[in-house]
Amino acid sequence: DAGVIQSPRHEVTEMGQEVTLRCKPISGHDYLFWYRQTMMRGLELLIYFNNNVPIDDSGMPEDRFSAKMPNASFSTLKIQPSEPRDSAVYFCASSLVRESEQFFGPGTRLTVL
C-alpha cells in the first residue's frame, strides 16, 4: 500500500479564497482523522470519521471549516473563506481499529496571504 496520500503538498492562497485539501486513507482502515499542526499549538485534532461517518468535529475551529468523507477511500477538508491564521500544516491520518496506531500522510502546508 502507498500509505496515506494527501494533496496538494503545498498550497498558497489569498485571504478569502476557498481551499480544499484532499486525503486518501489506507485501504481497509475504518478511521480517518484530520489534524492541524502549528508551532504554537502543536498537533490538534480537527475532526474524525468512523466508517465514513463524522463522529466528532468539536476541534473544527469555525464554521468556515468543513469536512466530508463521501466514500471509504476519499475525504476532503474545506476552508471557506480562508484567513491568514489558517496557515498551518494539515495532516490526514488513518487507523485500522480503535486504540491502534495512526498512519499519517505527508501533510499539506497551507499559506494564506
Contact 26, 3 (CB under 8 A): yes
Stretch that binds other proteins, among 18-26, 64-72, 74-82, 97-105 (CB under 8 A): 97-105
* By CB under 8 A, residue 34 contacts other proteins: no
* By CB under 8 A, residue 75 contacts other proteins: no
From residue 28, alpha-carbon distances to 38, 75, 84, 93 in Å are: 30, 14, 36, 13
Contact 98, 29 (CB under 8 A): no
Contact 60, 50 (CB under 8 A): no
* By CB under 8 A, residue 1 contacts other proteins: no
* By CB under 8 A, residue 42 contacts other proteins: yes
Residue with Cβ nearer other proteins (43 or 113): 43
Q: Which of 55, 83, 85, 113 binds other proteins (CB under 8 A)?
A: 55
* Three cell numbers written together for 45: 485534532
Q: Where on the chain is the footprint of other proteins (CB under 8 A)?
A: 4, 31, 33, 42-45, 48, 50, 55-56, 91, 93, 95, 98-107
